[in-house]
Copies of this chain bind each other. A is one copy, B any other.
Amino acid sequence: MGRKRLQEATDGRPTVHTVAARAGVSIASASRVLNGVGGSPETVRKVRAAAAEVGYVPNAIARSLQSQRTELVALAVEDIGNPVYVEMMRAIEAVVAGSGRQLLVHATGGRIDNETALLRRLAHRYVDGMIISPIRVTADHLAAVTDSPVPVVVVGQLAEDAPVDNVRTDSRSGIALAVDHLLATGRRRIGFVNGPLDTVPGAARDAGFRAALAAHGIPLDENLVEVGDFQYAAGREATQRLLDRVEPDALVCANDLIAAGALHTLLARGRRVPTDVALVGMDDTELARMMFPQLSSVSLGSAERGRRAAELLLQRIDDPSLPPRRAQVAPSLVVRASSERTVTARAEVTA
């Protein structure tokens, strides 16, 4: 007894069959009208009316099965709380929403197994593409990305020849901007609070700091370098350790969270910023503008990188045959109160 239920979905909601039956046409005609392609005026009228009467809404899953698209795009970042990812996420969401798609956000916690698992899961085809910003990059990552049946765009440094869409910046030269600026404003004992050296950004920033000093012929006192992770608390603690050893007149921090932590420690220890110690962060997030004094910061164009990544991804979704492309966003320095030349910082800040 083929008890076909060609009328309603299992939960009683109308399907295209319901509409078709009610309009007295075939499901093919109903579908065509509902998609705005073809149909005689009379048919259009009947189907529209029927659809309105029963409150028909097409089922996105069934449509996806047919079209092989979910209109969903995923973003995987280490920590959705880090303001730099917030900015990136906002930019991506804008582009993605503009194309009528929706954004799925994954927090990876920076764990590699997590990230590769995520990439492998792409094979399930539950999204049309993914933007991932890994903090460490392994061979597994690359394999997973190149194996992936859906497009992936990587934000961050990658091997030159990796056949992968890639958006990058140059945090190495970004650090140089900060160092040059501090030297130009008369600072001489420049400290550096970095994140883990086994991460891609950590390593790049370390190299950048050393290279920048070397370019000015300044020998590096290792006591001026401290490492934590990329968080606020770590920035506080690392700066404490650094101050226990040495007395810098400037501090470069590997991101704004660290810089915020450094500022806290500096102020708590009675240092005036920027009078005694100038401070420069990195990423130029909202957070930098919220501190008092406001933090100078090296912008790595996170919003711009997000935008570009999203564009690359959407283009590739539309045309998978594209060759791998790379976009680069140049860093720039935003000088604010925390590293101004002035001796009396407070007076200069206009509230």
0/1 interface trace, chain A 70-95, chain B, CB 8 Å (1 if under): 10100000001101001101100100
In contact, B58 and A61 (Cβ under 8 angstroms):
no
Interface stretch (choices A123-131, A132-140, A310-318) = A123-131
**Is A322 part of the binding interface, using a Cβ–Cβ cutoff of 8 Å?**
no
Complex Cα distance, B124 from A258, in Å, reads 43
In contact, A61 and B65 (Cβ under 8 angstroms):
yes
List, in ascending order, chain B residues with CB within 8 A of A40's CB.
none
List, in ascending order, chain B residues with CB within 8 A of A70's CB.
61, 126
**Is A62 part of the binding interface, using a Cβ–Cβ cutoff of 8 Å?**
yes
In contact, A62 and B65 (Cβ under 8 angstroms):
yes
In contact, B81 and A351 (Cβ under 8 angstroms):
no
- Determine which of B60, B86, B123, B292 lies in contact with A292 in the assembled complex, contact meaning CB atoms within 8 Å: B292
Which A residues from 83 to 113 make CB contacts under 8 A with B?
83, 86-87, 89-90, 93, 102-107
**Is A260 part of the binding interface, using a Cβ–Cβ cutoff of 8 Å?**
yes
In contact, B61 and A265 (Cβ under 8 angstroms):
no
List, in ascending order, chain B residues with CB within 8 A of A87's CB.
81
In contact, B125 and A351 (Cβ under 8 angstroms):
no
A-B contact pairs, 26 of them (CB 8 A): A10-B68, A57-B124, A59-B125, A60-B124, A61-B125, A61-B126, A80-B80, A80-B86, A80-B89, A80-B90, A81-B87, A81-B286, A90-B107, A102-B106, A103-B104, A104-B104, A104-B105, A232-B286, A236-B351, A240-B351, A264-B292, A267-B351, A268-B346, A268-B351, A290-B291, A291-B291
Q: Which 5 A-B pairs have the closest CB atoms?
A: A268-B351, A57-B123, A60-B126, A60-B124, A265-B351
